Each structure stands twice: as C-alpha cells, then as structure tokens.
Chain A
Amino acid sequence: MITVAFLLVLLIVTAVTTVVGGGPTGPVGALALVSGVFILFFCAGIYVAAALGVLGLLAGFALSDRPLYLFIGEVIWIPSVNFVLVAVPLFLLMGELLLRAGLSERLYRALNLWFGKLPGGLLHTNIVSCAIFSAIAGSSVATAATIGSVALPYFERTRYSPRMVLGSLAAGGALGNLIPPGITFIVYGLITETSVGKLYIAAFIPGFVMAGLFMLVILVYALWFGTPVVEERVSWSARFRSLWDLMPTAVLILVVLGTIYAGVATPTEAAALGVLGSLIFAAFARKLTLDVVHASARSTARTTSLIGLIILAGFVLNYVLSSLRLPQALAGMVKELALPAWGIMLIIIGFYLALGTFMEGFSMIITTLPVVFPVVLALGYDPIWFGVIITMLIEIAMISPPDGTVMYVLQGMRIRPGPITDVFVGVTPFVLVYIAGVILMMVFPDIVLWLPRVLR
C-alpha cells in the first residue's frame, strides 16, 4: 500500500516538475525506459542479479553502438578481488561463529543486573545487549537471532507483554548493521568509493542515539502502562562481579572496533582479527569443534556468493549506465528541478522506505545507488552522511511489516506460540521512532558528521 501511494506521489511530482521545467530530454527518456524494464523484471520475479545484469546487457545493446559486453570480464574481475570487500565474508564468518559459540548468554545475564531495575526492566536489557552485540557483529539477523535465543526464555516466567518483548528485540536487532561494524557500510563504500573506516566513525553516534531513543520508547511505555518489577534485590558487588562476564565481549569490541578507530587496522584486517578472536573465544567456551567451524564456513560461503553475484551484476549495469552517461544526466536534471535539496532528499528517503517494505537491503542499495548516489552528490549532500542515512533506511526495511527477515526470525523463536501480528504491532512504535531518527539526522547532520570531522 505504502508503495502504491508513494509511486503515485512520485508520478505527480515528476509530472509537475517536467511541466514547470520543460519536457524530458534524451538521456532521461532512456533512463525511464531502463527503469520501466527493470520494474517489469522485478514483478516477474527474476533473480535480482539476473535482472541487473541482463538489463545492463540489453541497455548496452540497445543504447550504445560500442560492444560494451566485451568488457564484462574486467568489469566483474575488479570488484571480485577488492580488498575492502574481503571484509564481508570475514564479518559474516565472525557472526556465524559467535552465533554458535554462546557468547550472548553471559552478556545478557550480566547486563540484566544493571538495567533490570529501570522502569521497563528486561526490555531495556534487550536493547542494550543488542546494541553491544552489534558492536561486534555486522548483521541484523545475526544480532536478533543471537540475543533473541537468550532473551526469550527469560521472559517465560514474567508478565511482560509479548508484543513489547518481540518488538524491542526486533528493534535491537535492527541496530546490527547501523552500529559499526556493519556489512552494509562495506558494500556502500565499495560502490560509492567512500572510506569504510570513516563511515564506521560516522555511524558511532547515530547508532547510540537510536539505542537511546529505543530505550526512551520503553521508558514511556513502562511509565504509561506499567511493567512487572523485579522483586529481588541486586547488590552492587554482584553487579560489579557481573562485569567479568562482559569481558569477552569487551575484548572483541576492542579488537574489532578499537583497531579500526585507532587507525591501526583497516576494516578488513579488523574483521580478520575478529574471526581469530571469535575462534579463541569459542575455544575457551569449549564450543570450538570441527562441526561448528564447518557449519559457519559453509553458511559464510553461501551468503558471500549470493551477495557477490548481485554486486557483480550491479557493476555490469553500473558500467553500462555510466558509459551511456545516464546517472550524470539525471543528476544534472535533478539539480535544475524547482524543488529544494531537502525536498528531493525526502523523496529519496520515501522511495527507500517504500522499497524496503518488499525488498531485501543489499539488493536495494546495489540496484539503486549507481543512479541515486550521483544525484545525492549533485544536491550537495555529504557521501558519509548519506551512507549512514541509507543504512538506517535498510534497517527500517528489516523491521517494517509485512516483509522483514528479523521479525520472522523472532517469530520462529517464540516459546509460547502466537500470531505474527504480535511482532508487527510490537515493532511499530520502534519503526516510527527509527523514521523520526532519520529525520533527526536530516535536520541535524552534525550528529553524523561531527565525529569524523573531529577525528580527522
């Protein structure tokens, strides 16, 4: 529904602006044609990679008299061996290992001693443990699955509303990619030639602002409706003893994020160290078996391949489009529009929100960035800032009903069964706050840009 409404708005805006600013020119017509065919492919359920690649080939045949397809080999070899992209399988591997090594159990128990007393109790623990786990894992699904598997049994004996429990876990999971290190930033950095390290620095404050806003939602909810209070007294010595349980996590964060922020290691190197750290941690936890490593390796390879194929096909399309100079033409046209920059940015944000209700995050950025990014630059926005915004939009996609993997992972973990609509209802306030967060970063871009500027 959102999609249809949004497309209508977009159509009207385009119609009005073309009337105001003169008729469409050659390259724009071509771009409209390309987009039209693309939408057709999508509706037909073509594999995202095949849709991108074949569209690139077709556009090359139809719109250029040069044999562009002869260069595909080089075009796909270059991203295949990109050192920055190597970080993707390594972060995936790290997440897979941690998921199987049981790190989250101790993390959750320890944090609960600290946050259990606040109004909203365990719900805060959900958000905080997800946020902390996000600082070592680069994926939202891994974060939600890892913390969810530990948290849900805790709620078994309590009277917390299952909607709120599931909603807070989904929201916490959706911090997975935003709080560095995240895989989305690597892919964004690759496509837009932006420094991944800088993106990680920029996402630091927004990540914790979002976690804070989520806790605020819980606080308001708890004060309004009331939540069960933990009766037992927790002594301060127990609290400080619990810090020991946070050690492995703290060490991993230091190894991965610390080395990136200190400028000692590139994201790829930090990811490799993270894998090493996870292996050592799993060994200490007596979980390091051949089976665990094998299952993690296998799953990593599969996910890397499916992301890789989309990236390679995306590069083919990107190559053809830029040979035809289409994105540049579009960027030029948008600049001439009678709309203010923030108006166009709002349209772009609306476009991603609509897309996110039915499309998966990676495909979303790889398909759209080659065209959207030049426009964003032409409007004068900072590429680092936009990287953070687009990652937030992808995270919103992960938890916006009806189509978000994170929500289905949590639904599958429920101990007492219930309808999926519980998750939908529970996550809604958090989705709205997430969108408010995007607007907040738009109005105050310094939340994103301050830290990279200071650390330069």
Chain B
Amino acid sequence: MRRRLLTLLERLRAANELVGRVMNDAAGWLFVVCALFVSFDVLARKFLGVSSQATVELTGYMLAFGIAWGLCDALTTRAHIRVDVIVNKLPLALKVWAHALALSFLAVLAFFFVWRAWAVALESWEFNAHDSSALRVPLVVPQALWALGITAFFVLTVLMLVEVVILLSLGRRVQVERMLGPRTLQEEADEALEAAGVSRGAGS
C-alpha cells in the first residue's frame, strides 16, 4: 500500500518538477525580455523622447513573476539556502529527520504565502483595481500569475513532504538524503566552473 502510494507520489513529483523546470525557464527568458524592454525604454526616452510610461510597473510584475515561477526549480535543484554546518555533521539517521523538519517549515511558509497571495489577487479582482501606469493594468493579472507560481511551489513542498514521511517509515534514508541533502560547496563550485568552462572550451 505504502509502496504503491510512493510510486504514485514519485510520478506526481516528477510531473511537478518538470512543470517547475519549464516555469523556471519562462522566468529566465522573461528576465531577458525585461532587460531588452528596459534598455529600449531608456534609449527611446533619451533619443526619441518617447517612453512606455509603464516601465516601473511592468518590470515589477516581471520580477514578481520571475521570483514566484523559479521557486519550484530552486527546490528541485536544492538551491534554497540552509545553514547546514551542524546538520552535515549529524549521523544519517538524525540528518534525515532534520531534512524533514526543514521541509515542513518550508511547507508552512509556502502555505501562508499561497493563502495570502490569492487573497491579495482576489481583492484586486473584487475591487477591479488597476495600477496607475499609462496602461492601467488590472492588478489581478500579475497578482494571479504570481500566486500561481507560489502555488506550484507549495504543492511541490507538500508532495515532497508526504514522500519523505513514507520513505522514512520504510527506512529508506539514503533516498531522503539524495532528495533533500544540502548541496555541498563542491557542487556549487562545479556549477560555476561548468559555466566558465563553456567559454574556455569554445574559446580555444
């Protein structure tokens, strides 16, 4: 029974992680668009004397979107920051419980964020609120997209938490460690090297 549930959960989580990766890519490309948009706006203002009159608002929405939509992938890639000096020194049997505790705290925070984020979006919808930019964007649009990103993050934390609890009850500690164990400094360093390596490899 637990095993079957576990398989189901693993599939659900894999799906959620895939969605998270796509969301993260969307967030990343939106930042590229954001940079081009702001550049265009600055140059147009200086040289053509025109401006979108909504740069501050629109780029702000892009940031909110970007932060929210990248949350899942950061969790999957274990990028969210923990202070792990002590945890790393614990024996595996204790360490996995620390991981579970950390994840449950994250789920609690995500729950409050989701709940109140939707409340903000709903309120904007009810009062038909618009921003004060030239475009008069209905606030519910960026707020709902933002809340959607946080929702995906919340769902992922819950799925992972249930999975961790089942794994712990089955005594599969190594799997928990692989899922939630903090990234070592070595892994972080490798990532920076990989990025630098792209240029080195292609350059010579």
Contact = CB atoms under 8 A, between A and B. Distances in A.
Interface of A: 41-51, 53-54, 57, 69-74, 76-77, 80-83, 85-86, 89-90, 93, 96, 99-102, 104-105, 141-142, 145-146, 148-149, 264-265, 268-269, 271-273, 275-276, 287, 292-306, 308-310, 312-313, 358-360, 362-363, 403, 405, 408-409, 411-413
Task: List 8 A-B pairs, minimum CB-CB distance, nearest first.
Answer: A297-B28, A305-B70, A81-B60, A308-B67, A73-B116, A45-B87, A272-B38, A275-B35
* Residue with the highest number of chain A CB atoms closer than 10 Å, among B25, B31, B87: B31
Interface in B35-69: 35-39, 41-42, 46, 55-57, 59-64, 66-69
B161 interface: no
Interface residues of B, number: 78
Nearest to A275: B35
Given A304-B67, A408-B186, A412-B186, A149 B199 contact: yes
* Residue with the highest number of chain A CB atoms closer than 10 Å, among B28, B82, B85: B28
B190 A51 contact: no
A301 B27 contact: yes
Contact of A305 (B29, B57, B74): B74
Nearest to B200: A149
A80 B57 CA distance: 11
Contact of B73 (A48, A49, A93, A302): A302
Contact of B108 (A54, A82, A299, A309): A54
A354 to B, nearest CB: 13
Nearest to A410: B189
A81 B203 contact: no
Contact of B203 (A53, A105, A308): A105
A275 B199 contact: no
Contact of A403 (B71, B85, B143): B85
Interface string B110-130: 001100111110000000000
Given A45-B87, A90-B34, A275-B39, A69 B24 contact: no
Contacts of A81: 57, 60-61, 63-64, 142
* Residue with the highest number of chain A CB atoms closer than 10 Å, among B61, B67, B119, B190: B67
Contacts, number: 269
Contacts of B142: 81
B197 to A, nearest CB: 7
Given A304-B27, A360-B81, 9 more contacts: A45-B102, A46-B82, A80-B146, A81-B63, A85-B63, A145-B192, A293-B32, A411-B189, A412-B190
A228 B5 CA distance: 66
B81 A306 contact: yes
Which label, helix, strand, loop or mixed, suits the secondary structure of the A interface?
Answer: helix
B30 to A, nearest CB: 8
A294 B26 CA distance: 10
Contacts of A145: 192-193, 195-196
B10 interface: no
A136 B120 CA distance: 38
A304 B59 CA distance: 14
B186 to A, nearest CB: 6
B63 A408 contact: no
A48 B66 CA distance: 20
Contact of A304 (B35, B66, B119, B199): B66
A147 to B, nearest CB: 10
Nearest to B117: A73
9 contacts: A47-B105, A72-B116, A90-B31, A99-B196, A100-B196, A105-B199, A275-B36, A276-B36, A403-B185
* Residue with the highest number of chain A CB atoms closer than 10 Å, among B35, B37, B189: B35
Contacts of B84: 45
B43 to A, nearest CB: 8
Given A83-B56, A265-B42, A300-B28, A47 B199 contact: no
